[in-house]
Each structure stands twice: as structure tokens, then as C-alpha cells.
Structure 1
């Protein structure tokens, strides 16, 4: 039997590879970057997705864990899964901290201990996260007459899944692992169509109904027992700029939504405004002003108070 000749490429791959190498070198040189570490510099999206799948299973083992899991082995599964997930998370935290230290010209010697401290604090938060998420699941069940059980909303509702991801991403954000937090948020965004920046502060019993197109900005503050419907935006009205024209980052620029507020589909609320406790914001309302507690804002009322030419939203 004669062997077949190896397949030859018809795509001029040597030239393509060389061209890509040249472009990478040019990009790194312009930004004073190198690959001195010899390995990967950044956390990996696929690794973070695996970690999130494991964390969701550990938080809700009999519903989001493996199909073959039995109650008698629940604790063993949770412990084993968390050990795997947290060790992987520790490695990803190290990558982020090492990259940040190099960019800032700091010594990376302290990174392993810093990564361990962050991972320890994150692990300790998981029981608290489960308690918060139980209130979110209950709010979704109680707030939707179509829901037949709390199990249904946990297994099926994209709004609930987005909140699970956000609770975990927000903790990492607060622990100063913002890149990992943002990766988790974007994994959720890709899967659910719901875009919640990990910096957003969200109280208990939070429910996003339907969910597609919801946007919640970095500095938004949301109280307890708040319900949003699809295509709601809690965005920024404008961005402050420095003298050189660069955007000033981190300043409060998104709405504050107090307790017991309902915001209906398509509403857009922009800027550091406050939606008072117990208010109801109607569908398709465009709002750039604060409203007092107990307000009931409709589209017609919003138009009466809006300027004739409103600036485009920023997120």
C-alpha cells in the first residue's frame, strides 16, 4: 500500500503568518509591550466560561449541576466542583494581576498572595451570593404570572441567569479583578442579550422580565425589589472629558433606582438621576430628570418635561 502525499496548502500561509507576525510586532512596539513572560498574558474567556458553569452548579447543584447527581452526594459534588473552579479562578486572577502589575511597572512578586486573597474572599462570598440569588429567584416567580415554579424560572429565565452571573462578576469587580468581572459580564451578555456592567450595584429581589436588550451601566445603583422589562436602558447622558479630550472614567453617571420601582419595556433613563421609591416608569419613556417617590411616569408626561432635542445616550 502506498501512502498518500501530504496535502499542500494553496493559501500562501508562510506569507500570511509572516504578515500577521509583523502586524503583532508593530502593535506591541507602539504600546511598549513584550512577551517577556513567555506565556499567555491575559485571562481566557473559555476558561472563565467553564468556571462559571462550575460555580452555577455549585450554587444550585440539584438544578444546575449534572443530571446524574443525587442528594446523598450533593455536598461531595459541591466541594469537589468548588475546589476545581476556585483553583482555576486563582490562576486567572494571577494572570490579570500580573498583567496589570507589568503595565504599571510594579513588581509581580506579590501577585500570588494577592490572587490568593482575592480568591479566598470570593469563595467566602458564595453563601451570601446564594442567599441573594434565592431572593431574585423568588422575585421572578412571584412577579410573573406565567411562571409555574421557582425551578422553572431558575432553569429557563434569561433574566435570572444574567443576575447569577452579575452577582459573581460584581464581587470580583469589588475585589479589584475588573477584567475577569467584565469577561463574566460579557459571557452573560452573549448568552442572554442582557448587558449589565459588573460595577452596577443591585439590591435584593431583583427581576428582569423577558430581558432582551436591557442595558445597565457601570455606576448604576439599584435598590431592593426592583423589576425591569425588556429593552430598558439605565445609561449615561453625557461623558465628562479632561483638558486633553480624553474621557474621565469612574465618575457617577448612571441612574439611581430606589426600592420597589418598576420600569416597563423600552424605557430609557439617562444620567445621574434618581427614580424615587415605589415609582412606576411606563413603556418607551425617555427620562433625564429625577422623579420623587411614588411617581407614575407615562410617555406623555415624559415628553412634556423633555427638551426638544435630547442628546444621544451613552452607555
Structure 2
């Protein structure tokens, strides 16, 4: 019995020594990682000014959802008696979170890139002003979202109620996140708009750049695989289906800087329907109002109003 205990102790001591030998190599690994960052061979943010937090942006999205659709996405019961108190708490916390992340974004741009237009200005004061402007936009965005939800219901016989659409439709989620992000983008807030829309993209499979201009009663049906580029312009009462790409033509090598900020994505006019898998490319491409774009078509030139674009029926083989 005693020999067995002694043998176990020897094994434990041997394991501990082996573990220590491996751990002793960690400082050298840490030094190599830090050296790589100091030599600018890795992307890093090692500074006294904090970078925007993706976790905080996710919380901002959750709180925006709670005020855009009151009572739908809160754990607590919301009734006419506690409405003002509950809404006040949510808006107050959201304001502080939003202002902090905007401030971090502005300061990051200033310190990291040395932008002259950001030099010597009150980033914190500006951030609070921008946060107020975004929150002041909420009633208008609510009105637009009411129309988006109604359009989704009107065009989908499978929808049982507006509630079902608000709770469960990925297109509605991606659209309202984009509308908030677009407002931030209009105010020239760095980082946050794209972090927001990419968060929605990760959850829904719908990729909308916050720079895209989108009209009222916009519907994304099903949604997976939808891509809407930065300079896309979409009119009112437009419906698109899964797998639709509103994108840019392939760019020549090193042409990115020359075309940055210029119109590269199509314009979709009012009352257009675009079916699944369609690809529409180019900044000069305009899809005229009331047109219908069939599934799996490839378009790189403008289409007149009241036009149907279809591919030839494929030849099916039965064996």
C-alpha cells in the first residue's frame, strides 16, 4: 500500500515538472508576439484610448429594438402605467452607451489615422450631440418600420400577424438595424454603422451596407444570401427575395481608392420585384419602376420601367 502511494507521488511530481517545463516557454512566445506587433507585422490597437466595443454595440442594438418595438423585446411587463418609466430607463442607458461608443470611434480615427478634420475638437461633446440626433430620429424610423412590417404582411400569405413578422422575420431585423446604422453613417460616425450591419448579417445572412439608401415599404423575403452594396439606392415598395445581389462590377487592380465613395451599385426604382438569385451590378444600372426581375438573371445595364426580365426556360432531362 505504501509503495503504491509513493509511486503515485512520483508520477504527480513528474507531471508537475513537465507542466512547468512547458509553461516556462510561454514568456518567449509572448515576447515574439509583442515584437511582431512592434514591427508592424500585425494589426493591433495598443493605446491608451479604447477602441469601440463590439459587445457594447450588440447591447446598443438590443436596446434600440426595445424602443423601436415597445413591449416586444423586454423581459419586464410593459403597460400604460410603467411605460414612461421603462422607456425613460431604456433611452437613458442607450444614450450613454451610444455616446461612449461614438466617442471611442471618433477618437480612434483621430489618434490612429491623424485625420486633420478631426484634430483639436471636442470628441466627447460631438459624440453626445450625435447620440441625441440618432435618438431624435427614432420616431421617424418607427413610422417607416410600421410600413415595412405592413408591406411584409401584405405580400406574404404565410404570415399570420404583424406580431409574427416583428418577432421572427430576419428581413425585418436586418432592415431596421440598417436604418439605424444608416442614420449613424449620415452623421459620419466611423466603425459603428458597419459593426451594426455586420452583426445583423451574422444573424440573418443578409448583408446590407449602412450607406445604402432604402425607401419605405421595403421587404426582404426569406433573405439568406442577400447583398446590398454601399451606394445602392432603393425606392419605395420594393420587394426582393433570397440570394439577390445588388453589387458593384469587379474593380481593376488598385482602383479601390479612385472609386471610394462614388456610385458603384445599382438604383432600384419604386414598385420593383426582384426574385431569388438575381444579380444586378453597376453604378449606372437603373431598374425602372414597376419592373419584375426574374430569378437567377444577370443584369449589368439599365432596364426601362414596366419591364419583365426572365431567363429562357431550362431544358429538363428526365431519366
Aligned to 1:290: 302
Asked if 1:26 is matched to 2:39, the reply is: yes
Structure 2 residue ranges without an equivalent (≥5): 1-11, 314-319
Q: Distance in 1 between matches of 2:81 and 2:171?
A: 31
Aligned to 1:13: 26
Q: Distance in 1 between matches of 2:190 and 2:106?
A: 10
Q: In the TM superposition, what is the alpha-carbon distance from 1:241 to its structure 2 partner? A: 6.6
Aligned to 2:200: 188
Asked if 1:257 is matched to 2:268, the reply is: yes
Aligned to 1:129: 141
Aligned to 2:129: 117
Aligned to 1:65: 74
The size of the alignment, in residue pairs, is 292
Q: Distance in 2 between matches of 1:15 and 1:189?
A: 39
1:80-99 equivalences under 5 Å are 80-99=89-108
CA root-mean-square deviation: 2.4
Q: Distance in 2 between matches of 1:216 and 1:72?
A: 42
Aligned to 2:191: 179
Task: Check whether the contact 1:239–1:247 (CA below 8 A) recurs between aligned residues.
Answer: no
Q: Distance in 2 between matches of 1:64 and 1:227?
A: 26
Residue by residue over 1:57-76, the C-alpha shift from the partner in whole angstroms, topping out at 9 and shown as x without a partner, is 11112112225333421222
Greater Cα radius of gyration, structure 1 or 2: 2
Task: Check whether the contact 1:58–1:65 (CA below 8 A) recurs between aligned residues.
Answer: no
Task: Check whether the contact 1:228–1:263 (CA below 8 A) recurs between aligned residues.
Answer: yes
The answer to which of 226-235 and 292-301 deviates more is 292-301
Aligned to 1:310: none
Task: Check whether the contact 2:266–2:282 (CA below 8 A) recurs between aligned residues.
Answer: yes
1:1-315 equivalences under 5 Å are 10=22, 12-27=25-40, 35=46, 38-40=48-50, 42-102=51-111, 103-106=113-116, 107-239=119-251, 246-272=257-283, 273-300=285-312
Q: In the TM superposition, what is the alpha-carbon distance from 1:234 to its structure 2 partner? A: 0.1
Scaled by the length of structure 1, the TM-score of the pair is 0.86
Q: In the TM superposition, what is the alpha-carbon distance from 1:23 to its structure 2 partner? A: 1.8
The answer to which of 13-22 and 99-108 deviates more is 99-108
Residue by residue over 1:220-267, the C-alpha shift from the partner in whole angstroms, topping out at 9 and shown as x without a partner, is 000000000000000001336778x85531110101000000000000
